[in-house]
Amino acid sequence: MLLEARVDPAGMIDFFEVLAKEEGARPAGFKYLSSHPMADDRLARLKNVASGQRGTPVKLLPGTDWSRLIRLC
């Protein structure tokens, strides 16, 4: 959906890289008990889909100062 909207998927890739690092210490069998795919699996799929991106992505909300939101989080 991001690619169809011409939104750069780099932010989502960064997000799942952070999640994957957090999940790194979990036992491998945990993924069979989880109700959601593991971050590594999602990250691999997202990178695969993003590699086929055509055209130039458009910045989401250009000119927006995200620093205040980042400080709040």
Tens of pLDDT, residue by residue over 17-69, are 988 888 776 666 776 777 777 788 889 988 998 888 887 877 777 778 888 87
pTM, full prediction: 0.61
Query: Quick one: 30 exposed, middle or buried, by C-beta within 10 A (0-12, 13-18, 19+)?
Result: exposed
12 in Cβ contact with 46 (< 8 Å) = yes
51 in Cβ contact with 21 (< 8 Å) = no
Q: Is the pLDDT of residue 16 over 80?
A: yes
The Cα–Cα gap between 63 and 38 comes to 33
Q: Where are the domains of the chain?
A: 1-55
39 in Cβ contact with 23 (< 8 Å) = yes
